[in-house]
Amino acid sequence: MSKRKQFSNSNLLTLPVFYILLSLTTQERHGYDIMKQVEHDSNGKIKLGAGTLYGAIKRMLEDKLIVEGSSEHARRRYYKLTEKGRSIFNNQLERYNQAVEIARQKNLFAKLALAYV
Amino acid sequence: MYETINISIPKKAERIFGLFLSFYPKVYRQKFGNEMRLVFYEMYQEEILTNGKIRFGFWIWQFSDLSNNALKEHVDLIEKKGIKKYMQQTFNINKYNIFGVILLLPAFIVFCIDLGSRIIQGDLVHYNRPVYKLLSHTPLYWTPVLFVWVIIFPLLAVGINLIPIITKAVKDRDHLKSKTFIKQNFTTLLILTFGLFFVLLVKYHDFAPCMVHGILKVGFGQLDHIVEVCRKA
């Protein structure tokens, strides 16, 4: 049987995972907090359900991109980035940054704006 | 930061979410079930605050999200543990159940063919002669062998599947009375039910469809008369 691809610097992160990691870059958060932050950061384009959210959290925990943080509430689990998670996120961010830079050099943003006029 | 507040939601909504959550493997539910429940409560509250009520689309979204991801978790579990351990842990399926299913398969096929052909001919009371004539040349319908498929094998399936129940009952007498008895032995009980059903069907294979036909035709009002007629069927 095929094994699930682990998160690594060479694999592209899915958008939900990227945004979850983004939400954890500044502070540790619990599930609902992550959900709302992702919705905010994506301007409402990504709305995670509980199933998608915790499916992603489970895989990130298994691959040690995140760990459980300190918890003030007994019922709540908080999550935070590990060094590996931060490294993979930064790597992904760098890729996006390079793509944006190339697009800027080719003046694609202006062309894109014209296309919508 | 998005803070949580004390939230209570209707019992019915809790039960529906609980049902969706039950799609997930037990191991997953034990680890993330509580958190997912809390997140659901907050989503429910937010839906009410935003839209004044719970829209049908909210439930569609919940069902779609949870069932889709539950399926992925089951696939993930199969990849990690292998199909044998997965079946044992998720469905409480043991080797007796597998033998039972194999033993019941011929009777099940005969039953489906018989019922289907009676429905196609539009007469539940009598067997479908052309279909029977065609299949009588196959091993499935040879007379002495048919006896094996529809009586011996189901009885064996019942006998074999009583073994785990009796074994557990001998070790722990309270097992039969426990609240989780049906849940822990669901597959075994299902096989026992079908096994006994097929054995009974051999005796009543004309009586049963005759009853159904009679009830569909005249209703329950003349049940005594229907029973009397079908006894002679």
- A54-111 pLDDT, tens digit each: 999 999 999 999 999 876 666 689 999 999 999 999 999 999 999 999 999 998 887 7
The answer to whether residue A7 sits within a structural domain is no
Q: What is the 3-state secondary structure (H, E, C) of chain B?
A: CCCCCCCCCCHHHHHHHHHHHCCCCHHHHHHHHHHHHHHHHHHHHHHHHHHCCCCHHHHHHHHHHHHHHHHHHHHHHHHHHCHHHHHHHHHCCCHHHHHHHHHHHHHHHHHHHHHHHHHHHCCCCCCCHHHHHHHCCCCCCCHHHHHHHHHHHHHHHHHHHHHHHHHHHHHCHHHHHCCCHHHHCHHHHHHHHHHHHHHHHHHHCCHHHHHHHHHHHHCHHHHHHHHHHHHCC
The shortest C-alpha distance from A33 to chain B (Å) reads 5
The answer to whether residue A54 sits within a structural domain is yes
Q: Residue B168's closest CA among B141, B144, B188, B197?
A: B188
The answer to whether residue A102 sits within a structural domain is yes
pLDDT tens digits, B142-162:
777 778 888 899 999 999 999
Rounded to two decimals, what is the model's pTM? 0.69
Q: Which of A4, A33, A75 comes nearest B34 by C-beta?
A: A75
Model confidence at B181, pLDDT cuts 50, 70, 90, reads confident
Model confidence at B137, pLDDT cuts 50, 70, 90, reads confident
The answer to whether residue A4 sits within a structural domain is no
Report the pLDDT averaged over residues A27-42: 95
Here the CATH number for the domain that contains residue A90 is 1.10.10.10
3-state secondary structure of A51: helix
Q: Out of A19-23, A112-116, B43-47, B157-161, which region has the weakest mean confidence (pLDDT)?
A: A112-116
Kindly tell me if the per-residue pLDDT of A39 is higher than 70.
yes
Task: Identify the pLDDT of residue B168.
Answer: 82
Any chain A CB within 8 A of the CB of B34? Answer: yes
- The structural domain count of chain A equals 1
Find which of A2, A20, A58 to mutate to test the B interface (most B CBs within 10 Å of its CB): A58
Percentage, residues of chain A above pLDDT 90: 69
Task: Identify the pLDDT of residue A71.
Answer: 65
Model confidence at A13, pLDDT cuts 50, 70, 90, reads confident
Range of the domain at A46: 15-116
* Greater pLDDT, B200 or B160: B160
Task: Identify the pLDDT of residue A2.
Answer: 45
ipTM of this complex prediction, to 2 decimal places:
0.84
The answer to whether residue A9 sits within a structural domain is no
The answer to whether residue A5 sits within a structural domain is no
Q: Residue A54 and residue B36: Cβ atoms within 8 Å?
A: yes
Task: Identify the pLDDT of residue A99.
Answer: 92
- Name the closest residue on chain A to residue B43, using Cα atoms: A32
Supply the mean pLDDT for chain B: 85
Any chain A CB within 8 A of the CB of B69? Answer: yes
Name residues 10-39 of chain A within 8 A of B (Cβ): 27, 29-33, 35-37
